[in-house]
A and B are shown apart, each in its own frame.
Chain A
Amino acid sequence: MLTKAVTVIALASVAGYSWSEIREITIMQGFAGVSLFSVFLLMALGLAIIFGQMKVINMAHGEFLTLGAYTTVGVGTLAERFAPGLFAWYFPVAVLAAFVVAGVVGLLVEWVIIRHLYKRPLDTLLATWGLSMIMQETFRQSFGARETSVTMPEWLMGSWQPMGGVDIPINGLFLLVVTLVMTAAVILNMHKSRMGLRVRATTMNRDMAGAVGINTRMADRMTFALGCGIAGVAGAAFTTIGSVSPSAGSLYIVDTFMVVVLGGAGSIVGTILAAFGIAQAQSILEFFLSGVLAKVFVLLAVVVFLMIRPQGLVAGKIRK
């Protein structure tokens, strides 16, 4: 961030802007990077858990995101119609509902499809790809092909102005808070709770964990449900920055996989680092180059990095 600040200042002063303007833009651009980071992290967290702990490649992850988003739209519409006085508070309820709905559907999916395919990672890829198409079409049939949008409550609209000329979008802040809370919750869960202990044991040595009495099946099921629930929360949060359509999930899935693979399978810390790196790089490059070029360079950088270090940023447990 420091180098970025320096470069911005250097270039901007050449272009003849005042010192306060440069400062404002740097703060706003810094926040744009942080905002993108929270988007990537929220999306990737669920996938990292599933991929890392269970080596299941969930191509339908984007659709759980969309499911969370549609749940939010549903809760919002219900609130508008039946409890207009409470409309301002529907959003936290919607986020919770999104977590529950996506988690429950994830549970069902795991029970019906995934549990038969644990030893076959390529088949889970195919099966979840098919699942993603089924879910997309179900959304299309139930909600229509057009994009819908949720009316945001008043307190989420507009921007916060800590100083004159600096506009920090409030929904960006909200997204950041949600991401930090979710990440903290996940890390706490993994390392401080009984369930996290069981999951970690299953990942390290499945047979031994089973031998000491841990129900590995239940551990996997809960992990998958948790991952999908997080995707649902991400979807709920994204209704504030974009629209909801049946194919909205496919817009995010590529970036999500990129973050997870770069971070190193199975490592939450790696995911955080990767999300931060990619988000900042993309944000800075978008500012100095054009939108399309920025994406190209970021992707190239990721490819080169993975060629040099295929296990990603933080090497988790690699099953040989």
Chain B
Amino acid sequence: MHPHSIVPGRLRSATVRATALAIVASCAALAADWVNPVLDKFPTAIVCTTGLRVTDTTVTVGQLHSVTGTMAISETGSVEAERLAIKQINDLGGVLGRKIEIIQEDGGSDWPTFAEKAKKLLIKDKVGTVFGCWTSASRKAVLPIFERENGMLYYPTFYEGLEASKNVIYTGQEATQQILWGLDWAHKEKGAKTFFLIGSDYIWPRTSNKIARIHIEKHLKDCKVVGEEYYPLGHTNFNSLINKVKLAKPDLIYSVVVGGSNVSWYKQLKAAGITGPALEAKKQMLLTISTTEDEIRGIGGENVEGFYACMKYFQSLPNENNKKFVEAFKEMYKDKYGDKPVIGDVTQAAYLGPWLWKKAVEKGGSFDIDKIAAASPGIEFAEAPEGYVKIHANHHLWSKARIGKMRADGQFDILAESELIEPNPFPEGYK
């Protein structure tokens, strides 16, 4: 300090500090604008006029799946796939320049809990959209809430159709895309004429089997249904049912058993001598629409070898998109699954959700639900792991169906593939 300076030392160092601060602040301001020019084009006030949780740099979405309970075996994959998609989107810069943040809630395999958490996400958290649900029961529980609060749900599971809400985008197949083509294939390729329908006791299996029955009895030649049985979710004792199936000797056992019950069902089938090879020797087969790689992981591949499934996606699909997707999934979850991750049909459909949402937001230029709903029909996603998909005006996806045969290692051999099937959730003559 110079004792002869005109400005006292204290004041001078304060001035220096203040100037430095001002320079830094203006640099930061300029930098912020420079880093995020998107804000000029998509200011928050314009892209979000309905009070959703959108800021200049972030947008918040909700995840509503069962992480506990009997459905956890199936829904954990969906959670992981959605998080992978969101991470990939964030790495590309986010949606309209905003990074996606997640609020996750656990439905607990309990439908009233799903409804309660949906209310919380939509009313309290005001999330931009929700990726969630798996069973039809959970979807039916939350649907009134989404319609009343005008939210948007991306629903990943193959389901029974008979629904087309403007507040839901259905990224899974509906019944006509999955059930009808599969039954036609079994009838044509395997000569199946008698069918035994089995399911868990709630809306999806019952409606699916109803549609299957109508198709078998009215649209397939000389075919009939020789048995139809339902057991509660979580049921573990199928011995009597297996005896009944043996007595009925159907050409095709149509299994719509859901969730954890699958483990008991297939283990007891094997213990009773009903295996893929055994059925094949007697010109019979088992076709399921509810068992994916996720469930087989819990069942054990050696218990299901030789059974058939009809889905739109299998982890072993040989296209380029799928190879990249499986690699990315393996990389993100290698601590949890080592190098053997398991990706089922619903997991892939859940992966589509965030991407389709991003495209709808960018096409409509807004996070508002009405604009997303208006922008969605016609959106195409050619990089989907299952191949090309397009959103239909009824909020479902154009997609292909495939038949896979289960292998002992838990993966599928793909035997047949359909053309792109147009979604038709209200098929004539099936109600």
Interface residues of A (CB under 8 A from B): 12, 17, 21, 25, 28-29, 31-32, 35-36, 39, 140, 145-149, 151, 157-159, 161, 167, 169-172, 240-243, 245-247, 251, 283, 286-287, 290-292, 294-295
Bound: A36/B241 CA distance, A: 13
Greatest chain B CB density within 10 A among A25, A36, A172, A291 is at A291
- Residue B263 at the A interface, CB < 8 A? yes
**Chain A nearest Cβ from B421, distance in angstroms:** 32
Closest-by-CB residue of B relative to A292 is: B201
Q: How large is the interface on B (under 10, 10 to 19, 20 to 34, 35 or more residues)?
A: 35 or more
**A-B residue pairs in contact (CB < 8 Å), sample of 7:** A169-B268, A169-B271, A172-B239, A241-B237, A243-B263, A245-B73, A292-B232
Assess whether A147 is in contact with B263, with CB atoms less than 8 Å apart: yes
Would you list which residues of chain B between 207 and 231 have a CB under 8 Å from chain A? 229-231
Closest-by-CB residue of B relative to A30 is: B243
Assess whether A157 is in contact with B244, with CB atoms less than 8 Å apart: no
Interface pick from B29-37, B63-71, B157-165: B63-71
Assess whether A157 is in contact with B264, with CB atoms less than 8 Å apart: no
B residues within 8 A CB of A171? Answer: 271
Assess whether B268 is in contact with A291, with CB atoms less than 8 Å apart: no
Assess whether B243 is in contact with A32, with CB atoms less than 8 Å apart: yes
Assess whether B247 is in contact with A149, with CB atoms less than 8 Å apart: no
- Residue B179 at the A interface, CB < 8 A? no
Assess whether A25 is in contact with B243, with CB atoms less than 8 Å apart: yes
Assess whether B263 is in contact with A286, with CB atoms less than 8 Å apart: no
Bound: A149/B244 CA distance, A: 26
Assess whether A287 is in contact with B235, with CB atoms less than 8 Å apart: no
Assess whether A147 is in contact with B264, with CB atoms less than 8 Å apart: no
Interface residues of B (CB under 8 A from A): 67-70, 72-73, 76, 201, 229-232, 234-237, 239-241, 243-244, 246-247, 260, 263-264, 267-268, 270-273, 298-300
Greatest chain A CB density within 10 A among B67, B240, B241, B270 is at B240
Assess whether A148 is in contact with B243, with CB atoms less than 8 Å apart: no
**Chain A nearest Cβ from B261, distance in angstroms:** 9
Assess whether B68 is in contact with A243, with CB atoms less than 8 Å apart: no
B residues within 8 A CB of A286? Answer: 240-241
Bound: A17/B246 CA distance, A: 12
Assess whether B240 is in contact with A29, with CB atoms less than 8 Å apart: yes
Assess whether B260 is in contact with A167, with CB atoms less than 8 Å apart: no
Assess whether B267 is in contact with A242, with CB atoms less than 8 Å apart: yes
Assess whether A157 is in contact with B271, with CB atoms less than 8 Å apart: yes
Assess whether A159 is in contact with B246, with CB atoms less than 8 Å apart: no
Greatest chain A CB density within 10 A among B73, B231, B239, B244 is at B239
Bound: A290/B197 CA distance, A: 12
Bound: A243/B260 CA distance, A: 7
Assess whether B299 is in contact with A149, with CB atoms less than 8 Å apart: yes
Assess whether A148 is in contact with B298, with CB atoms less than 8 Å apart: yes
Assess whether A145 is in contact with B67, with CB atoms less than 8 Å apart: yes
Assess whether B298 is in contact with A247, with CB atoms less than 8 Å apart: no
Assess whether A146 is in contact with B72, with CB atoms less than 8 Å apart: yes
B residues within 8 A CB of A32? Answer: 239-240, 243
Given A147-B263, A242-B267: A28 touches B246 (CB 8 Å cut-off): yes
A residues within 8 A CB of B234? Answer: 251
A residues within 8 A CB of B69? Answer: 145, 247
Assess whether A242 is in contact with B73, with CB atoms less than 8 Å apart: no
Assess whether B246 is in contact with A25, with CB atoms less than 8 Å apart: yes
**Chain A nearest Cβ from B286, distance in angstroms:** 16
Assess whether A283 is in contact with B240, with CB atoms less than 8 Å apart: yes
Assess whether B235 is in contact with A147, with CB atoms less than 8 Å apart: no
Bound: A148/B300 CA distance, A: 10
Greatest chain B CB density within 10 A among A148, A169, A292 is at A169
Assess whether A241 is in contact with B236, with CB atoms less than 8 Å apart: yes
Query: 5 closest Cβ contacts across the A-B interface?
Result: A169-B271, A243-B263, A32-B239, A286-B240, A167-B273
Closest-by-CB residue of A relative to B263 is: A243
Closest-by-CB residue of A relative to B66 is: A145
**Chain A nearest Cβ from B21, distance in angstroms:** 48
Given A17-B247, A167-B272, A246-B68: A290 touches B264 (CB 8 Å cut-off): no
Closest-by-CB residue of B relative to A12 is: B247
A residues within 8 A CB of B236? Answer: 241-242, 251
Bound: A145/B237 CA distance, A: 22
Assess whether A287 is in contact with B244, with CB atoms less than 8 Å apart: yes
**Chain B nearest Cβ from A105, distance in angstroms:** 22
Closest-by-CB residue of A relative to B236 is: A242
Assess whether A243 is in contact with B241, with CB atoms less than 8 Å apart: no
A residues within 8 A CB of B264? Answer: 241-243
B residues within 8 A CB of A161? Answer: 273
Assess whether A242 is in contact with B263, with CB atoms less than 8 Å apart: yes
Assess whether B271 is in contact with A159, with CB atoms less than 8 Å apart: yes
Assess whether A149 is in contact with B72, with CB atoms less than 8 Å apart: no
Assess whether B241 is in contact with A21, with CB atoms less than 8 Å apart: no
Q: Select A146's contact among B246, B271, B298, B299, beta carbons within 8 Å.
A: B298
Assess whether A29 is in contact with B72, with CB atoms less than 8 Å apart: no
Bound: A243/B230 CA distance, A: 20
Assess whether B243 is in contact with A28, with CB atoms less than 8 Å apart: yes
Closest-by-CB residue of A relative to B300 is: A149
Q: A29-B240, A157-B271 are in contact. List 7 more A-B contacts (CB 8 A).
A: A32-B239, A147-B263, A159-B273, A169-B272, A242-B236, A246-B68, A295-B232
Assess whether A247 is in contact with B271, with CB atoms less than 8 Å apart: no
Assess whether A147 is in contact with B267, with CB atoms less than 8 Å apart: no
Bound: A245/B71 CA distance, A: 11
Assess whether A147 is in contact with B260, with CB atoms less than 8 Å apart: yes
Q: Select A145's contact among B68, B201, B240, beta carbons within 8 Å.
A: B68
B residues within 8 A CB of A247? Answer: 68-70
Given A25-B247, A159-B272: A241 touches B232 (CB 8 Å cut-off): no
Given A17-B247, A25-B246, A146-B72: A283 touches B239 (CB 8 Å cut-off): yes
